[in-house]
């Protein structure tokens, strides 16, 4: 391995399903970089120790559940969007030391929606109340929403996400409703909940929305994504590709080969039998 060899990885628990290694590795190959990118299972209690043990060859970490909020305490410098969301899905390293926490979920979600939908967004609903709900709720505000509704089973678990969305400079109105029966509203409905929580009644309530944004890509399609609809479907792979491209640029300092990364993601899902 040469002096330019670098390491990156995606961390989370669970992590075996992640397509991030596929996307990043294809990006490295396209640009001729001698870099590695792996998936490592790390739980919330193990994150600080893992980061502290990295050697100088490490350049970046992508973070998924349940690590996004914990990561904020590991660095002294955070981007404005990470502070806004109260969560980071990206740690940039210098000589193996974490120096910056960022959140590429937020701009990645904006890009994913705008790639498929050019219409107005005045209000939106987010199913779920975790860190991804906060980031995508903020993305709705970036798209123009003045009202964001969080639909959850336990309102107290949505407190952090609600506070994060309310911090958006546009001063949105943030409401909390019950996932079990209350109506959805707005031009965009974002689902951050597990496929197992998407029962037939919820699917029926979401059937008529102009835009459904399903952040999951595995399993695919989820019940919400599989339902017949007249509106636009934005998928989890759309979000993954756009946020990964932003991470790639943060880690390497080079423009990401977006279409090569997208093609690799589609092919990998097809090989899993997750798309028709």
In tens, the pLDDT along 233-260 reads 999 999 999 999 999 999 999 999 999 9
Q: Give the whole-angstrom CA distance, residue 53 versus residue 51.
A: 5
Per-residue pLDDT at 4:
81
Residue from 9, 8, 19 nearest 269 by CA? 19
Per-residue pLDDT at 237:
97
Report the predicted TM-score, pTM, of the whole model to 2 decimal places.
0.94
CA atoms within 13 A on the CB side of 234: 29
Q: Give the whole-angstrom CA distance, residue 223 versus residue 200.
A: 8
Could you please report the per-residue DSSP string of 117-161?
Answer: --S--SEEEEE--SHHHHHHHHHHHHTT-SEEEEEESSGGGGHHH
CB-count burial class (<10 Å; 0-12, 13-18, 19+) for 43: middle
CB 212 within 8 A of CB 70: no
Q: Is 68 a catalytic residue?
A: yes
Per-residue pLDDT at 273:
73
Per-residue pLDDT at 272:
84
Q: Picking from 16-20, 85-89, 271-275, which range would have the lowest pLDDT averaged per residue?
A: 271-275
Torsion over CA: 159, 162, 168, 171 (sign): negative
In tens, the pLDDT along 132-144 reads 999 999 999 999 9
In tens, the pLDDT along 169-219 reads 999 999 999 999 899 999 999 999 999 999 999 999 999 999 999 999 999
Token pair recorded at residue 247:
């991470």
Identified catalytic residue from 6, 24, 25, 68: 68
Per-residue pLDDT at 3:
58
Residue from 214, 186, 237 nearest 128 by CA? 214
User: What is the overall mean pLDDT for the chain?
Assistant: 95
- Residues 18-31 have a mean pLDDT of 98
Pairing of strands 173-178, 232-234: unpaired
CB 215 within 8 A of CB 137: no
The full set of domains in the chain, from first to last, is: 6-103+240-272 (3.40.50.10860), 106-234 (3.40.50.720)
Helices 236-252 and 258-272 meet at what angle, rounded to 10? 130
More confident residue, 40 or 2: 40
Please identify which residue in the block is written with the tokens 């060899």: 5
Q: Give the whole-angstrom CA distance, residue 150 versus residue 111.
A: 21
């Amino acid at each position: 391995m040469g002096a330019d060899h670098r390491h990156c990885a995606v961390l989370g628990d669970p992590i075996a399903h992640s397509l991030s290694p596929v996307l990043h590795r294809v990006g490295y190959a396209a640009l001729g970089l001698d870099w590695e990118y792996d998936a490592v299972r790390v739980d919330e209690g193990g994150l600080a120790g893992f980061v502290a043990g990295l050697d100088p060859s490490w350049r970046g970490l992508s973070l998924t559940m349940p690590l996004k909020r914990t990561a904020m305490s590991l660095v002294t410098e955070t981007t404005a969007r990470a502070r806004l969301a109260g969560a980071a899905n990206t740690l940039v390293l210098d000589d193996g030391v974490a120096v910056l926490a960022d959140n590429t979920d937020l701009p990645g979600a904006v890009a994913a929606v705008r790639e498929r939908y050019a219409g107005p967004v005045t209000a939106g609903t987010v199913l779920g109340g975790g860190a991804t709900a906060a980031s995508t709720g903020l993305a709705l505000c970036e798209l123009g929403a003045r009202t964001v509704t969080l639909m959850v089973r336990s309102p107290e678990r949505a407190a952090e996400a609600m506070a994060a969305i309310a911090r958006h400079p546009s001063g949105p109105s943030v409401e909390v409703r019950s996932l079990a029966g209350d109506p959805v509203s707005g031009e965009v409905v974002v689902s951050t909940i597990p496929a197992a929580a998407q029962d037939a009644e919820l699917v029926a309530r979401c059937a008529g929305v102009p835009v459904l944004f399903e952040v999951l890509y595995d399993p695919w399609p989820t019940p919400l994504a599989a339902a017949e609809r007249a509106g636009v479907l934005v998928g989890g792979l759309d979000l993954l590709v756009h946020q990964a491209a932003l991470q790639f640029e943060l880690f390497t300092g080079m423009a990401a080969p977006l279409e090569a990364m997208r093609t690799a993601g589609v092919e990998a899902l097809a090989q899993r039998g997750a798309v028709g």
